Structure formats: structure tokens, C-alpha cells
Structure 1
Amino acid sequence: MAVGFVKASSTAEIRKETGDHHRVDVSRLPPAEEVLRNRSVLIVGGTGVAGSNTAVALNKLGPHLHVVVGGRNRQKGDKVVATLGENSEFAQVDIGDVRSLKAAMKDVDLVINAAGPFDYMECNVLEAAIQSKTAYIDVSDSKRYAQRAKSYKNKAMAAVMAAVLVHNAQSESRGELESIRFNYYTCGSGGAGRGVLATSYFLLGDDAVTYHKGEKVKFSPYSSMLNIDFGEGIGKQDVFLLYVVLMNRFKSSRL
């Protein structure tokens, strides 16, 4: 269920006071070649389902991007590297060992943490990224992990660490924003590993949190089914309410 699995199927539906509905692609990026050329990225948890699919996707987007697959198992890592080509390598890292993480981050521009499930995980990868002043992003939508990660804010600012910002969907719409509804459907890489299963159980144990006029409203997890059209290639799919930490960013909005 990790947000990092979601590709073009992510949509945000925006309703303005005029009553019009617009579908906005919230995952738009600059041209991949421009962003990724001569860059290097470390994927921690790169031998798992989320990490290996992230590596493959990045390799396709930017053939000039150097991909470092990080994990504990060299045999699994070598198999992933074999699918990526010569501009990739394996680095043996342990998420419990900050020293090994820092060593792997020495010459990379970005670290992607795909080593879930995140709910009860320490922030060692983030800690190592801050200490090495390496840009950091993860695929977690766990509220517990996000709260722990937020405690590192001052350390990150002191280290002048690069930040990955959430795009403001309101800038895509004219007029005053009245409501936002996020719908996502995990496709392609999801539902195949222990990490996905464990994360799904964690999500089913928490109330689904929404916001109405700035006030928190809780629903039972996996409730309020909607049938959403995700466009060509995916079509209409049933979606249900689950807690996604991203919604906390909109708690002051009229949702």
C-alpha cells in the first residue's frame, strides 16, 4: 500500500466553488533526462518489491542515472543489478547500522528509503542522510514513522539538507479551492511481498482520517467504497478509505 508504488494512477480531484470538477496529475515532473543526467541514487531496501521496482523505473526514465541497489543480501542485489545494466551496482547496507548507511551515501545525490514496513522502524536511514547531507525521500505513508521523522527537522535544517516538498494542488486550479479528494490504486508492483502485506495490516488497524472544514473526521478503515476511473490502461477500480499521512498537510483546508 506504500505511496511509492503508485505511478500515473495517482489523481487528485478538485472541486471549486463554481461546482466544476478537474482532474489534476499531481505527479508531474520535469523531463527525466534533464533531472537524472549524471546523477547517482541509492535505493535502501533495493532488493525488495518496492525497491527493485523503483530501481527498474528509474533506470528506464534516465539511462544516464547511476543506480546503487542497497540491501543486506548480495545474491538478491546482484540479480536486481543484472536487470539494470552497467550503470548500476550493489552496496551491502544494514538499516540497523548508521555507519554502513553513511558509507553507502558517500557519493550519491539522493537516497530513497524503500525498506518497509515503516510503522515501528527507527529513522536510521534518515539520520544517516542528515549526517551525510544527502537528499532523502521514502515511500512511507505511516503516521507513526512520519511523526518520528518530523523530530529530525532541526537536525536536517542545521545540516542544510535538501528537502522534497509536497506539490500544492491548489496552484493547478483557478478560483477558490473547496475540496480535494485523493484516490490512488496500487498497480504493477504491489501486493507481492511481505512488506506490502505487513503495511496493509497496519493500515487496517487505524481509522481512516479525513478533514471537513479543517476538523478531523474518522471513518472505519476499508469503508466508503467508490468506483474511480483512473484512465487508460487501468480503467475503473474500486477504492476504499485508508489512512494516508499526506492528509495531515491539509488539515487547515476546507475539506
Structure 2
Amino acid sequence: MAKHVLILGGSGRIGSSVAADLLAHTQADIVITGRTISTGINVRDRLGARVTFLNLDLGDRENLRSAISGSDLVIHCAGPFHYRDATVLQTCIESGVNYVDISDHSSFTRKAMDYAEMATNAGVTAIVNTGIFPGISNSMVLQDVEQLDEADRIHLSYVVAGSGGAGITVMRTTFLGLQKPFQAWIDGQWQTIKPYSDRELVEFPAPYGRTGVYWFDMPETFTLPNSFPVKTVITKFGTIPDFYNYLTWSVAHWWHPWMLKQKPVIEFLARVSHFMTDVTDHISGIGVAIRSEVTGQKDGQPARSCSTLVHENTAIAAACGTGSVAQLLLSGQLHKPGVWVVEQALPTPLFKQTLAERGIQVQRQAS
């Protein structure tokens, strides 16, 4: 009997990509949700007969609970997660339904973690931050940590070309991440960092090469120090073309913090950026590259393990991360009641297996 998957926000760019991934790698029947009926119907028709559309607002608690209770797995793709509470997760736990999300902000991750004991007691497996970064990036770090006897420092960096093939929600997420300083684990203590600061040139695989990246508030910034006994965790993000980096830097450093906390301002910035990337995507592409570097000790000597990944479409890569976790939950290969981030729940052999099935390779270097 086919499993039933509910994808909240499934009519959006990333949500529909997750649906496409599950159609390719599972036999599940899928319900996608959204607030715009015409968009939802178009996406449903494009994805095929195993997909149905449900017009649903997450604020409608009664219909949300009804949709969740009829599912074997819920995948939450309805961002921006800066604005979300943990209602969906709580409802899944109360309904005994496993949960996955594509959340990408530390504030939401912290809210979700508060439900760990509740999920454990209910026998529900909930895995957050399952996309590309966070998500696949976390598993790359885990793989590098496992190569060493002792890890001291994690440097995780990402670069996205243009819009990354994602919708305007991702643009909102970028500017929401500039709103305030955040805490990072440096030299064994939490230190305050200004977003989009301390530009660093990092060598990514072709076609990106040497690219500028900046401090950015990501869930990995606090989850990796909780997962691994390291002294330093650095998370940096950049875009190409490089002039987008300078525009984002100017917003982070020259605009008054009060302005960045106003929803109309964030909406304006997101829409202008989306318009600009509609033009430049044809030149830059919409791909992504991730680089994980872990340094520490191996056999009593200084050692380093570095992993890289490149994909031509950021939205599809994110869907591969989420789809992999969902596939393993549906098949029963992954079962770990509680609320977890990816590096705490997904063993490296399963990570490598599901990525190989999707034709994605992680390149690794050790020294």
C-alpha cells in the first residue's frame, strides 16, 4: 500500500522540487499545499497523477490537523522559517506522524528542538534543516569529522549562483538573515558576529573557483558545536555574480537595523533582488557549491579533511537533501524518535547511498 506524504508549501519552487524527487525515488502518493489555487493546480498537473493539491493556509489549525492526521509523513517547505513557530511539528507529534522540514534559520531550529522530549515519548522521528545548506552540508561535515581522530575546527562555506532557481521566499530569507548580530562558536566560546562581515576568498570547484564568502547566520552555526566537540565553527555564504555580495554587504552595514526589521522593507529588497536575478541567471546559472573543511588530529599528527559538492540547480539540490531523508523514513531505514538535525540522525553510509541514487557526488581530500 502506497504511503501518503503531505508537503506543506509543495506548490512553491523548492516544495515542488521535493515532490518531484519523491516521485522519482519512492512510490508515495503526495499532497502538495499552497494558498494560491491556480498555482497549485498548475504544479499538480505538471507533477502527474500521484499528486493532489490542497488549498491550505497554515493558520487554519483545524484543516492543518486534518491534513496531517491522514499522512504517513509531513514535509514542511512553507518558509520563510524566520516567521514560523513550531505548530506544524507539534501537531505532527500529537498525531503520531513523522516530520521533516527544509528550515534554514537558527531561531526556528531552536524552537523545534524544544519538542525533542515530546517527540521521543510519542515515537515520532522529526528531522529539521534537511535541504542543501543546512542539510547536505551537515552530512558533509559529519563525513569529514569521521575521517579524523579528533576535530578542532570546522569551516563550512557555500556559494549560490544568482537566484539558485528558488523563488522569492529564499530572497526574503537572505535579507532576514541580516537583521541582527548572531553568536558563533570561536576558540571555545560564543562570540558576537555581525552578519555579512569578514569577507574571505575560498576556492570552490569549477565553475566557481575563488569566490568571496561572508559570515552568515545559519543553523549549522550552533548545531555543529552541539554535535561535535570542536573549538571553532565558521559558516560563510556568498553569491555570484560578485556584485550581489557587495550589494548585500552594503545593506547589512549601511542600512539602519530598524529598517531591516520592517516587513515592507524586506519585501522590497526581496522583489528587487528577484527581478535582478531573473536577468543575471541566464549568465551566472543557478547552481550551488559547498565546501566543508575540518582540521584536527589523526594518528597523533595534524590532519585535515575537505569535502566539496557542486550542483547545477540549487533548488533541486535542496530537494535531493530533503527527499533523501524522506525516502529513508518512508522505507523504514531511518527511525530515530526525537527532534534532530541531519548530522545527528543520518548515518554517513545512508547519506552516500541516497546521494549516489540521485547522481550527486561529494569529492573529498585528506591531508
**Residue 52 of structure 2 is aligned with which of 77, 89, 93?**
89
Residue 244 of structure 1 deviates from its aligned partner by 0.7
Please, what is the CA RMSD of the aligned residues?
2.8
Segments of structure 1 that go 5 or more residues without pairing to the other structure are 1-36
The equivalent of 1:66 in structure 2 is 29
Residue 74 of structure 1 deviates from its aligned partner by 2.4
Partner of 1:240, secondary structure, is strand
Map of 1:181-192 to 2, 5 A cutoff? Answer: 181-186=155-160, 190=164
Q: Is the 8 A contact 2:106 2:222 kept in 1?
A: no
Equivalent pairs counted in the alignment come to: 218
The equivalent of 1:53 in structure 2 is 17
Residue 46 of structure 1 deviates from its aligned partner by 1.3
Q: Name the amino acid aligned to 1:207.
A: P
Distance 1:210 1:241 in 2: 9
Residue 191 of structure 1 deviates from its aligned partner by 6.9
Residue 94 of structure 1 deviates from its aligned partner by 1.8
Structure 1 runs of 4+ aligned residues shifted over 4 Å read 232-236
Partner of 2:169, secondary structure, is helix
> Compared with structure 1, are the counterparts of its residues 107 and 171 closer, same or farther at alpha carbon in structure 2 (3 Å cutoff)?
farther
TM-score, normalised to structure 2, is: 0.53
Q: Is the 8 A contact 1:120 1:144 kept in 2?
A: no
Distance 2:162 2:46 in 1: 17
Distance 2:206 2:19 in 1: 24
Partner of 1:224, secondary structure, is coil
Residue 56 of structure 1 deviates from its aligned partner by 2.9
Q: Name the amino acid aligned to 2:5.
A: V
Partner of 1:179, secondary structure, is strand
The equivalent of 2:42 in structure 1 is 79
Segments of structure 2 that go 5 or more residues without pairing to the other structure are 129-137, 233-367
TM-score, normalised to structure 1, is: 0.73
Map of 1:62-141 to 2, 5 A cutoff? Answer: 62=25, 64-141=27-104
Distance 1:67 1:223 in 2: 42
Residue 215 of structure 1 deviates from its aligned partner by 0.7
Distance 1:188 1:40 in 2: 34
The equivalent of 2:192 in structure 1 is 218
Q: Is the 8 A contact 1:179 1:254 kept in 2?
A: yes
Q: Is the 8 A contact 1:207 1:242 kept in 2?
A: no
Q: Is the 8 A contact 2:30 2:52 kept in 1?
A: yes
Distance 1:235 1:78 in 2: 40
Distance 1:123 1:94 in 2: 15
Distance 2:102 2:171 in 1: 15
Distance 1:187 1:103 in 2: 39
> Compared with structure 1, are the counterparts of its residues 40 and 146 closer, same or farther at alpha carbon in structure 2 (3 Å cutoff)?
same
Residue 113 of structure 1 deviates from its aligned partner by 1.0
Residue 207 of structure 1 deviates from its aligned partner by 2.1
Residue 203 of structure 1 deviates from its aligned partner by 0.5
Residue 95 of structure 1 deviates from its aligned partner by 0.7
Distance 1:82 1:249 in 2: 39
* 2:140 corresponds to 1:163: no
